[in-house]
Amino acid sequence: MNKIAVMNSQELGESTFTTTLSDGLEVYICKKTGFSKKIGMFGTKYGSVDNDFIDITTNKRTKVPDGIAHFLEHKLFEKEGANALDLFSKMGVSSNAYTSFDQTVYFFETSEKFDESIAMLVKLIKEPYFTDENVQKEQGIIGQEISMYDDDPNFMVYFNALRAMYNQNPVRIDIAGTIESISHITKELLYTCYNTFYSPQNMFFIVVGDVDVEHTINLIEENLKKYENNNLPKNKIEKFRVKEEKKIAQKEIVQKMDIYLPQLCLGYKLDLVNGKEILKNEIVVNIISDMYFSKQSDFFEKEYNLGKVNDSIDMIYEGSDSFSHVIISTLSTNIDEVEKDILEYIEKIKNMPVDEEMFEIIKKKKIGEAILSSDNLNVSYRRIIDSILNKTDVYDQIEVLKSITKEDIKEFLNKLTTDNQVSSKIISK
Amino acid sequence: MNIYKVNNNKFKSIYISYNFTQEVNDTKIFSSYAVLASLMAKSSKSYPTQKDIEKYLNSLYGANFDVNIEKLGDLYNLEFRIEFVNKKFIPSKEELLEKILLFLKEMIYNPAQWTQDVFKREKDFILQRINERKDEKLKYGIQRAEELLCKDEPFGTYLYGEEDVVKNLSLKDIKDAYSTLINDSITVIVSGNLDGYDSIDSEIEKIFKQYDKNFNTNIENLKYNIKRQENYKYEEVKEIQDTTQSVLSLGLRIKECTPKDFYVLNVYNAILGTTPSSKLFQNVREKESLAYTVRSRYYRFKDIIVIYAGINKENYKKALDVIKIQLEDIKNGNITDIEFKSARDSLLADLIEWKDSKVAMAKMKLSNLIAFKDADISIDQMREEIKNVKIEDVINISKKIEVEKVFLLGGEIDE
């Protein structure tokens, strides 16, 4: 029997059960009573930034082409004589996957074929089938995916902001790579990445929905047992990270596209933090965004009435063990003036007292928001993935929220300095 | 006033959708209503600015409010919607319902005195919406196929209206639009965790009673599908845009079908292009590597289907051929049992999963009310109907489906 631990959230009326299987795989089950849909996810702590590491089978340092983690995500769906997307679909189950900087996650959503879907998800991960031919075929499909991103101003303005902030850090690189870089991918390289990063101790399994906890854990374990013999070496994974200097790479990147409405992304590069500090920064920035940039703010009202901003001004924090930054983004036909206004305003609010009444209303809103969001199953798994990668507890969020003070807001604002600030713009041709 | 309830205790919140639905006699209303909706979302007499509204909603534990506009076939729907936490889940057990309903009433029936400045600002807001539509290539490609198919029908007008019409709107036009709006057919749908809210319908009735009068028409009698047959002819249209990828979209017409064909058409569409087992995905993407995105979309109210794909412009002819072959294949009865079954099972699964969304359930009620004149059809009944569809039904209906419009957005083609 596996030892199962349980974490509860009184506020969300939700529990997450967790256990570690004998091969080292971490399993999380978030129980959502009454929901029809069940989501299963099998993920690895491996993403686009992990491009320089020790090949676990040869013990040699290896550098791999940009975009290979994402390419591997596509190719893992390929099974002998079939495609797993199609195999899921034939059961009436929808499946998909995504790759980001630090994770690759495969998932299914089903209401009636849960047991079969767990088996299929395990098969998907455990039976790689890469051939020269199917690697070549995928280059065409991913080529179109890359072209799609190239035409997407939203996507480009964000990535250019990262490129402006970071000098060496591989977050600068497109997750899908380039048409050129993916042409160097071979089936051998795919196996190298697979063998190194898809071992149980680097992976996690998440289930969200109205399921029986013990049954689910047994089901996952039984399915994994079929592959006991082809388990990969359990050596510690060794990654090489380029040392990223403190200063920004470039003050500004401006790109022209065939669009009507220009886009702006301001970035502030910050010091790395870890664990609960990442979560705290996320929530602090969320509150700052609500207080100073949302439709409730004087600033938004002014910019809106002047016709400079139409939709919203969004501010988020993104952090991991290799990056830490704030992104402020908006769209405007008058992008240079909006940029100037935001930068001046940030200097101004650093010296202003934090409005007590507004701060309390926003905290109240945040609690309501967390409760409202629990009607959506996707929020539950995102919370679990964040907690795995940040090494925090699943339900730390509300506790951290309650602990945040006006001083935290003030302190954070003072980290947003001119030296570490960059601008990215997409303008019309 | 018709009030429909969908209760499920798995949720922690309640969603109220207050709809004004009308027929479109003049497509100019798209422009005036877009501006009106934008004004109404941002002000009322008691809450004159967006800031006042947001602040109040935040104090109600982050209740979400907005005004949504949409086309339901050729009908125009303006929807006020609000979502709030059921008191059981609020730490202080504070009751929000009355405040929420009074707020909704305020936003709908007590509009601000719009000044020329405020009016001009919202006109500019809508003009930007119109001008920025080409920035999202795939979405624009789909919309152009819809517009080509439904030329001169209300559905063929862009949701935010037309630039020239918006520019020439006066404040009086907006006030007139408001007077028409509040006499449109009203449908209220309440969806979510209604535990502890047994009498929510009578509370809604009580608060909105004075506005519940003789409406112009009943929603069931509204005509949602107008057909301008003179436009039913084959056309290929190209639009140049300086992009890396091109978008190919095809407009398909379904001839002679009835509302009951909804189920078989859903199965047809799933076989054609909504799942990874579909003909389009398997052939255009997997076999020929021509696209990353390729899908089809069925429009229940308009008897049309749109196929769209992101392709390399050099592959235009080839992609078009491969797509047309798939359509022929279905007509010739080349549907395997597995293709059929996976299409059907994925639809059955989608239907069950709607039950997990308050918004999807509310939308389903409204759609069924308009198309089937019956809001009480359950998900289980709909599933039964899907289960009853036979392969032969799909083949029969496929013979009534023709490609009528082909649209390409992208670089110049060397022919």
Which of A14, A73, A109, A138 is an active site residue?
Answer: A73
Q: Out of 3.40.50.720, 3.40.228.10, 3.30.830.10, 3.40.50.300, select the CATH number for domain A5-230.
A: 3.30.830.10
Decide if A112 and B355 are in contact by the 8 Å CB cutoff: no
| Beta sheet of A26-31, edge-to-edge order | A5-9, A14-20, A26-31, A203-209, A38-44, A104-110, A94-99
Our CA-based measurement puts residue A361 at a distance from the nearest CA of chain B, in whole angstroms, of 6
Q: Give me the residue from A90, A153, A261 closest to B277, CB to CB.
A: A90
- Return the structure tokens found at A264: 């702006």
Contact A303, B120 (CB under 8 A): no
DSSP string, B93-113: ----HHHHHHHHHHHHHS---
pLDDT surpassing 90 at residue B211: no
Q: How far is CA B267 from the centre of its chain?
A: 20
A5-230 and A252-428 in the same fold: yes
For residue B8, the one-letter residue type is N
Which B residues, 231 through 260, put their C-beta within 8 Å of a C-beta on chain A? Answer: 241-245
User: Residue A59 region, left (φ>0) first, then alpha (ψ -120 to 50), else beta?
Assistant: left
Nearest partner of B283 among B328, B344, B346, judged by Cα: B328
Q: Which of A10, A36, A134 should we substitute to test contact with B (largest number of B Cβ atoms within 10 Å)?
A: A36
Q: Give me the residue from B128, B138, B345 closest to A92, CB to CB.
A: B345
pLDDT surpassing 80 at residue B215: no
Nearest CA in chain B to A139: B289
- Return the structure tokens found at A249: 């790479």
B152 in helix, strand or coil?
coil
Our CA-based measurement puts residue A5 at a distance from the nearest CA of chain B, in whole angstroms, of 24
Decide if A90 and B132 are in contact by the 8 Å CB cutoff: no
- pLDDT for position B1: 80
Locus of tokens 């539509």:
B133
Contact A24, A232 (CB under 8 A): no
pLDDT surpassing 70 at residue B306: yes
Decide if B121 and A304 are in contact by the 8 Å CB cutoff: yes
What distance in Å separates the CA atoms of residue B415 and residue B412, rounded to the nearest whole number?
A: 9
Instruction: Tell me the mean pLDDT in the region A91-98.
Output: 95
Give contacts of B312 with chain A, Cβ < 8 Å. 143-144, 147
Decide if B277 and A369 are in contact by the 8 Å CB cutoff: no
Decide if A90 and B338 are in contact by the 8 Å CB cutoff: yes
Instruction: Tell me the mean pLDDT in the region A201-226.
Output: 96
Strands of A111-234, DSSP E:
203-209
What distance in Å separates the CA atoms of residue A160 and residue A10, rounded to the nearest whole number?
A: 41
Give contacts of A11 with chain B, Cβ < 8 Å. 91
pLDDT surpassing 60 at residue B413: no
Contact B11, B362 (CB under 8 A): no
Instruction: Tell me the mean pLDDT in the region A229-246.
Output: 84
Decide if A150 and B91 are in contact by the 8 Å CB cutoff: no
pLDDT surpassing 90 at residue A233: no
Interface predicted TM-score (ipTM): 0.92
Q: Which residues contact B60 (CB under 8 A, 6 or more apart)?
A: A368, B84, B96, B99, B100, B103
Q: Give me the residue from B91, B135, B349 closest to A110, CB to CB.
A: B349
Contact A134, B296 (CB under 8 A): no
Nearest partner of A40 among A94, A101, A4, judged by Cα: A94
Decide if B12 and A375 are in contact by the 8 Å CB cutoff: yes
pLDDT surpassing 60 at residue A174: yes
- pLDDT for position B254: 97
What is the dihedral sign for C-alpha B365, B366, B371, B374? positive
pLDDT surpassing 50 at residue B415: no
Q: How many Cβ atoms are within 10 Å of A51's Cβ, its own excluded?
A: 21
What distance in Å separates the CA atoms of residue A247 and residue A422, rounded to the nearest whole number?
A: 11
Mean pLDDT of chain A: 94
Nearest partner of B346 among B271, B296, B286, judged by Cα: B271
Q: Give me the residue from B12, B51, B282 closest to A295, CB to CB.
A: B51
pLDDT surpassing 80 at residue B411: no
How do the domains of chain B map onto residue ranges? 2-221, 233-410
- Return the structure tokens found at B138: 């795939």
Q: What angle do CA B351, B266, B256 make, to 5 degrees?
A: 140
Q: Which of B8, B11, B49, B58 should we substitute to test contact with A (largest number of A Cβ atoms within 10 Å)?
A: B58
pLDDT surpassing 80 at residue A1: no
- pLDDT for position B270: 98
Instruction: Tell me the mean pLDDT in the region B223-227.
Output: 94
Decide if B131 and A298 are in contact by the 8 Å CB cutoff: no
Q: Does domain A252-428 have CATH number 3.30.830.10?
A: yes
Three-state SS for B240-270 is: ECCCCCEEEEEEEEECCCCHHHHHHHHHHHH
Decide if A150 and B289 are in contact by the 8 Å CB cutoff: no
Q: Does B348 touch chain A (CB under 8 A)?
A: yes
pLDDT surpassing 90 at residue B334: yes
Locus of tokens 């087992």:
B277
Instruction: Tell me the mean pLDDT in the region A356-367.
Output: 92
Q: Give me the residue from A83, A144, A300 closest to B292, CB to CB.
A: A144
Decide if A92 and B131 are in contact by the 8 Å CB cutoff: no
Specify whether A73 is catalytic.
Answer: yes
Contact A67, A73 (CB under 8 A): no
Higher pLDDT, A231 or B265: B265
Instruction: Tell me the mean pLDDT in the region B347-372.
Output: 95
How do the domains of chain A map onto residue ranges? 5-230, 252-428
Which B residues, 88 through 147, put their C-beta within 8 Å of a C-beta on chain A? Answer: 89-91, 121, 124-125, 128, 131-132, 134-135, 137-138
Locus of tokens 């399915």:
A223
Q: Does B62 touch chain A (CB under 8 A)?
A: yes
Report pLDDT digits (tens) over B179-195: 999 988 899 999 999 99
For residue B281, the one-letter residue type is F
- As a residue count, chain B comes to 415
B407 in helix, strand or coil?
strand
Our CA-based measurement puts residue B55 at a distance from the nearest CA of chain A, in whole angstroms, of 6
Decide if A36 and B356 are in contact by the 8 Å CB cutoff: yes
For residue A157, the one-letter residue type is V
Instruction: Name the helix (H) or strand (E) containing A428.
Output: strand A421-428
Nearest CA in chain A to B94: A368
Helix, strand and coil content of chain A, in percent to the nearest 5, comes to: 45, 20, 35
- pLDDT for position A2: 77
Superfamily of domain B233-410: Metalloenzyme, LuxS/M16 peptidase-like (3.30.830.10)
What is the dihedral sign for C-alpha A210, A212, A217, A221? negative
Nearest CA in chain A to B52: A296
pLDDT surpassing 50 at residue B259: yes
Contact B340, B334 (CB under 8 A): no
Instruction: Tell me the mean pLDDT in the region A291-304.
Output: 96
Q: Can you name the CATH fold of B2-221? A: Cytochrome Bc1 Complex; Chain A, domain 1 (3.30.830)
Instruction: Tell me the mean pLDDT in the region A118-123.
Output: 97
Q: Give me the residue from A85, A111, A429 closest to B349, CB to CB.
A: A111
Q: How many Cβ atoms are within 10 Å of B194's Cβ, its own excluded?
A: 19
Query: To 10 degrees, what angle do helices B116-131 and B171-181 make?
Result: 80
Report pLDDT digits (tens) over A65-89: 999 999 999 999 999 888 999 999 9
Q: How far is CA B268 from the centre of its chain?
A: 20
User: Which pairs with CB-CB distance under 8 Å and at least 24 residues apart come from A235-243?
Assistant: A235/A56, A237/A53, A237/A54, A237/A56, A237/A196, A237/A197, A237/A199, A237/A202, A238/A53, A238/A54, A239/A50, A239/A52, A239/A53, A240/A52, A240/A53, A240/A61, A241/A52, A241/A322, A242/A52, A242/A168, A242/A169, A242/A170, A243/A168
For residue B130, what pLDDT band results from cuts at 50, 70 and 90? very high
- pLDDT for position B91: 84
Q: Give me the residue from A90, A93, A139 closest to B349, CB to CB.
A: A93
Mean pLDDT of chain B: 95
CB contacts < 8 A, A to B, total 182
